[in-house]
Structure 1
Amino acid sequence: MSVDVLNETDFAVDELELLDCARYVMDQMRVHAEADLCITLVDEAAMETLHVQWMDLPGPTDVMSFPMDELRPGIDGEEPTEGNLGDVVLCPTVAARQAREAGHAPIEEMLLLTTHGILHLLGYDHAEPDEEREMFELQRQLLLTFLATRNRPTS
């Protein structure tokens, strides 16, 4: 699978860690091996522009997802569909603030947001309580298993 991480900010981010997380999530969700994903890190001004344009909401947000080919998780016995999964856009400064408030490292927040964004690209949502429980439990499981299996410490 092809995953690109583009850091358009001055914020220092372990791009390889984001790449590894994205590949892990896509693999666990049985996304086609030839699927494409782009993760772009933007500053607060750029994120605010996207947030207003696409969600009609003020201010920057932490993550936005832009699906392309509406790929869905692979199902046992069926070949997953090849295509472009889409784009996940992260705002590292918003993520860093959230990480401070939650008491963990900024990279851990960005890994969570990467996982969250990919799940949105795969059709998961959290608008309704049942959807939220399903998505957030899956997000938690994916992130915890990724963190447990990786080789690098967070910082």
Structure 2
Amino acid sequence: MGVEVLNESGEVPSPVPERELVDLGRHVLEQLRVHPLAELTITLVDEPAMAALHERWMDLPGPTDVMSFPMDELRPGREEQEPEPGTLGDVVLCPSVARAQAAAAGHAVGDELLLLTTHGILHLLGFDHAEPADEREMFDLQRTLLLTFLAERGRTTTAAPEAGRS
């Protein structure tokens, strides 16, 4: 899995170590049987950059926490079908928005960013939460993926599984 992290947020060091974001991206893609040669970029940006993206692509003012930009419309693999290679796309995170959300929810900003990354990858893979049944499916999967990732590292999270509704 090609997972690249770009920190353009100006926050050094990043609130989540780059290696952990790469590992999370690989975990999610492996669990969902995405082709091993698929490529994913995770970019951390500041509020003005996120606000510009949010307005341009969603026609909404101000920054948001996470946005997803799919490329090759890859989907999770199934046992009976070989997954397609390609470029999954980009997940863009805004650490300062995530920090405010984490503070309001009473958990670590790193946990919030991991949750938002998982959420963004699921959007790249075609999951959505516009309808109640789709929301339930997406957020259950999001929670499972994040908790299994953290359990492999001997960690837990206090981040709510329904966060990351962008």
Same fold (TM over 0.5): yes
Gaps in structure 1 of 5+ consecutive residues: none
The separation in 1 between residues aligned to 2:156 and 2:136, in whole angstroms, is 29
| 1:123 and 2:126 correspond | yes
Secondary structure in structure 1 of the residue aligned to 2:97: helix
* Aligned residue among 41, 45, 50 for 2:44: 41
Verify the 8 A CA contact 2:147 2:156 in the aligned structure 1. Answer: no
Provide structure 2 residue ranges, at least 5 long, that are not aligned to the other structure. Answer: 158-166
Q: 1:58 aligns with which of 54, 61, 84?
A: 61
1:36-91, CA deviations, whole angstroms, 9 ceiling, x for partnerless residues? 00000000000000000000011100000000000000001211000000000000
- Structure 1's consecutive aligned runs of 4 or more residues displaced over 4 angstroms after TM superposition are 151-154
Q: TM-score, normalised by structure 2?
A: 0.90
Which residue is equivalent to 1:29? 32
Aligned to 1:70: 73
* Match for residue 148 of structure 2 among 145, 148, 151: 145
Match of 2:33, SS state, is: coil
- Count of aligned positions: 154
1:91 aligns with 2:91: no
Partners of 1:65 and 1:153 in 2: CA distance: 25
Q: 2-side partners of 1:6 and 1:64: how far apart?
A: 15
Shift of 1:104: 1.1
Aligned-partner SS, 1:127: coil
Q: CA deviation at 1:152?
A: 7.2
User: What is the Cα-based RMSD across aligned positions, in Å?
Assistant: 1.3
Aligned counterpart, 1:111:
114
2:10 aligned residue: 10
Distance 1:152 1:17, change over 3 A: farther
Distance 1:150 1:10 in 2: 28
CA distance in 1, matches of 2:134, 2:61: 25
Partner SS state of residue 6, structure 2: strand
State the 1:101 CA deviation.
1.1
Letter in 2 for 1:146: F
